[in-house]
């Protein structure tokens, strides 16, 4: 079996998910609603997805033999995070269909490859950028790109980690060292008016479905609130998203994060080749939710409706926020989604709420 373009999986088929966090959990719940069986592969048995899946297979992500065995036991494989090692994806692809495709993983894992692909292959604007492989590159990037730049590690950065904003030559050189003297990218600092995203899916026959534009508010570099629809024009962001999906011959849900400037124009910040935190509002907005949309896309099903019936805002519950569960439960306007994490830590995503707004 290989990445067949035509196969449609019937209910009862087995979906394998690499990663057992909250995204894996919500994927497993959506898969179960459609009658699929889910196996989770995760480095530990105690994970949010294991509580709701048919089976948990414990293994390291770079244990190729264990990954091969897992691939042979499922009808299709997907993942809930983009840092799946390339060799792991390669080993799995030889044994079962793996969606989203490996090229999407490889593109999203390296910020330089990602920016290059989006700008030059998909033809979608990104922030002006420059490679930084040493301290002198960092200084040069500041001189080329302008008064203020963001230096980011090319790999493994998330939630604002692995990046620094700099405005002087000395700070640029110091930032490269502080970031670990690893390959970096420098981007022009974009004085955006707001951050927005599009969550969309493509299936193997090329059908595409996109939710309306989502407005995102971050606190301490972590997503705090997402609201959709935004009462603004969605067209350009959706058109850019479609170009990226097509350029990657993508199958599954993808999120594209954008900066919107004061004049309304948008540029891509980054892509996530998976279901995304800014799409959690879909779970209670009366349309197909993003987890079901992903399961439909990877199993060859027709994509459902992405048109929300009402405006919804999603608020993340971080760390101790989750202790308020009883008062949240008393609010009839709030839909609660807890992730089943027993260990409460500051800033850890413990759950989210969705609320219908006008």
Sites of contact with ligand AMP (CB under 6 A): 127, 150, 157, 160, 187, 189-190, 195, 218, 221, 269-270
- Count how many residues are written for the chain: 358
Q: Residue 157: which of 139, 134, 175 has the closest Cα? A: 175
CB-neighbour burial class of residue 325 (10 A; exposed 0-12, middle 13-18, buried 19+): middle
Q: Least Å distance between CB 312 and ligand AMP?
A: 21
Residue 33 or 221: the one with the smaller Cβ distance to ligand AMP is 221
Q: Least Å distance between CB 30 and ligand AMP?
A: 26
Coil vs helix vs strand at 109: helix
Q: Residue 59: which of 28, 37, 92, 31 has the closest Cα? A: 92
Coil vs helix vs strand at 220: coil
**Residues forming beta bridges with residue 312, ordered by sequence position:** 228, 356
| CA separation for the pair 81, 218 (Å, rounded) | 20
Q: Least Å distance between CB 277 and ligand AMP?
A: 12
Q: Least Å distance between CB 150 and ligand AMP?
A: 4
- Distant-in-sequence, close-in-space partners of 46: CB < 8 Å, separation ≥ 6: none
User: How far, CA to CA in Å, does 225 sit from each of 86, 228, 315, 317?
Assistant: 32, 10, 5, 10
Residue 197 or 290: the one with the smaller Cβ distance to ligand AMP is 197
Residue 109 or 299: the one with the smaller Cβ distance to ligand AMP is 109
User: How far, CA to CA in Å, does 197 sit from each of 17, 18, 120, 217, 295?
Assistant: 24, 24, 21, 11, 21
Residue 94 or 156: the one with the smaller Cβ distance to ligand AMP is 156
Q: Least Å distance between CB 165 and ligand AMP?
A: 7
Residue 241 or 288: the one with the smaller Cβ distance to ligand AMP is 241
Residue 150 or 353: the one with the smaller Cβ distance to ligand AMP is 150
Q: Least Å distance between CB 252 and ligand AMP?
A: 20
């Amino acid at each position: 079996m290989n990445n067949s373009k035509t196969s449609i999986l019937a209910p009862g088929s087995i979906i394998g998910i690499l990663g057992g966090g909250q995204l894996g959990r919500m994927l497993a719940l959506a898969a179960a609603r459609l009658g699929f069986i889910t196996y989770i592969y995760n480095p530990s048995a105690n994970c949010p997805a294991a509580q709701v899946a048919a089976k948990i297979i414990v293994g390291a992500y770079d244990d190729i033999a264990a990954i091969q065995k897992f691939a042979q036991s499922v009808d299709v494989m997907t993942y809930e995070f983009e840092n799946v090692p390339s060799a792991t994806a390669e080993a799995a692809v030889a044994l079962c269909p793996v969606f989203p495709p490996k090229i999407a993983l490889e593109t999203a894992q390296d910020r330089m490859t990602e920016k290059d692909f989006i700008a030059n292959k998909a033809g979608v604007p990104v922030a002006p950028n420059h490679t930084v492989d040493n301290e002198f590159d960092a200084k040069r990037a500041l001189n080329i790109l302008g008064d203020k730049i963001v230096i980011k590690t090319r790999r493994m950065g998330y939630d604002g980690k692995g990046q620094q904003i700099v405005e002087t030559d000395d700070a640029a050189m110091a930032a490269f060292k502080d970031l670990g003297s690893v390959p970096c990218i420098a981007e022009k600092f974009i004085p955006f008016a707001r951050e927005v995203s599009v969550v969309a899916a493509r299936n193997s026959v090329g059908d595409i479905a996109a939710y309306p534009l989502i407005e995102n508010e971050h606190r301490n570099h972590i997503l705090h609130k997402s609201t959709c629809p935004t009462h603004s024009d969605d067209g350009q962001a959706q058109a850019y998203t479609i170009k990226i999906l097509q350029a990657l011959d993508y199958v599954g849900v993808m999120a594209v994060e954008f900066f919107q400037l004061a004049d309304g124009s948008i540029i891509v910040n980054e892509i996530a080749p998976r279901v995304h935190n800014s799409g959690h509002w879909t779970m209670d907005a009366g349309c197909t939710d993003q987890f079901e949309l992903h399961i439909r896309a990877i199993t060859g099903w027709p994509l459902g409706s992405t048109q929300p019936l009402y405006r919804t805002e999603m608020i993340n519950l971080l760390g101790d926020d989750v202790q308020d569960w009883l008062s949240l439960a008393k609010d009839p306007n709030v839909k609660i989604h807890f992730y089943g994490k027993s260990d409460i830590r500051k800033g850890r995503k413990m759950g989210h709420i969705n609320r219908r707004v006008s």
